[in-house]
Amino acid sequence: MRHTPLIAALMAGLLVTAVGCDRSPPDTAGPTGTGATQPAPGLPDPVTDDQPVVLEDIVEGTSDYLVGISYQGDASAYPGLARRMKAYADSARGEMIQAAQSRPPAEDGGSNAPYDLSLSFVELLRTPQLVSWAADGSSYTGGAHGMPLLARFNWLPARNRMLTPEELVTDPAGWKAVSEYAREQLHTRLSQRIDGDASDPAERNRMMRSAGRMIDEGTAPEPAQFGQFEPLPGAAGKLRGLRFVFSPYQVGPYSDGVQTVDVPADVLKPYIAPEYRDLFEGGS
C-alpha cells in the first residue's frame, strides 16, 4: 500500500494519537462513490446557504483508518460554497470509514492494514465575479493503490450558487467544439508519449487503439464529461480560458494520472451563455 504525501506526513502523529482511541463515523447521507470523480453540487439551498459553515482541518486515526483533510484558504465568506466543500469532504470521509469498519477481520481473510483518506482543498481564484476551489486526494480501501478524489467548485458570489457546465455552455455545438479541441490535445500527447517508449509497431498500434478509445469515450461532447473545470486568469480580471480536469481512468489508464486540457477563450466564448460571456477575454 502506498500512502499519499499528506497521509505520509501525518502518519507519525496519527499513530501516536490513535492508540487506544476509537471514533464513530460521522452522520452522512450515504456513500457517494469516492473512487470516481464526483461532481461538485450545483443547486443552491436558500434555506441554509446563508448560515455560517466552519471548515476545519481534520487529522485523526484509529487502528482501522487514517484521515487527513486540509483547507488551504478561507471560504467562510461564501457559506454556500463552504457547505458544498464540507459535504464533499464528509461524504468521502464517511465512505472510507464505513469501508474500514465493515471489512472482515484479518483472521477471516481481511487486511489489517489501515485504510486512509487524504484530501486537500486549495483556493484557485477569488474575484467579485467568481470564486474557485480545487479538491484533490485519494481514498485507500484496499487493493494496489488508492482511488482518486477530484472535484472543482466554481462559485458565483453575486448569484449565490455554483457555476455548472450545463449553465455555462447551453448549446450542444459548444460541447462538440470543446470535445474536438480536447481530443486533439490528448491524442497528440498520447502519440508523443507512445513514440517516446520506442515500442514495436504492433504494440504501438495496440496502445494507440486502447488509450485512444478511452480518450474518445471520456471526452464525449456532453457536459457530464467536462464537469470538472478551473478558471484560467487572464488580463484585467478576465479569464483567458478554462482548464478541464480529467481524473485517472477517464481519458487514460491509472498510470497516466490526472490529465488536463486548457481550452482558450476564443474557442469557448462563441458558445458561452450570454450572462457569463463577460467573464472571458475577447469580443462579444
Burial of 105 (0-12, 13-18, 19+ CB in 10 A): exposed
> Which element (helix H / strand E) includes 84?
helix 79-102
pLDDT at residue number 216: 96
Compute CA distances 199 → 196, 203, 206, 253, 255, whole Å. Answer: 8, 6, 10, 17, 17
Give 120's strand partners: 70, 136
In this structure, which amino acid lies at residue 126? R
Dist CA 178 CA 185 (whole Å): 11
Rounded to 10°, the helix 201-218/172-196 angle is 160
Answer for the pair 1, 140: CB distance below 8 angstroms, yes or no: yes
- The grid coordinates listed for 33 are 462513490
CB-based contacts of 1: which residues, under 8 Å, 6+ apart?
A: 113, 140, 145
Answer for the pair 157, 131: CB distance below 8 angstroms, yes or no: yes
pLDDT at residue number 42: 46
pLDDT at residue number 51: 81
Mean pLDDT in order along the chain per 10 residues (284 residues): 49 40 36 40 51 92 94 95 97 95 76 90 97 97 90 97 96 97 96 76 81 95 97 95 96 93 97 96 75
- The grid coordinates listed for 251 are 481519458
- The grid coordinates listed for 235 are 488580463
In 219-269, which residue ranges form alpha helices assigned H by DSSP? 265-268
pLDDT at residue number 133: 98
Compute CA distances 224 → 84, 170, 253, 259, 271, whole Å. Answer: 18, 12, 19, 16, 17
- The grid coordinates listed for 268 are 469557448
pLDDT at residue number 31: 37
Furthest C-alpha separation in the chain? 67
pLDDT at residue number 198: 61
- The grid coordinates listed for 273 are 451563455
Dist CA 283 CA 240 (whole Å): 12
pLDDT at residue number 211: 87
pLDDT at residue number 13: 46
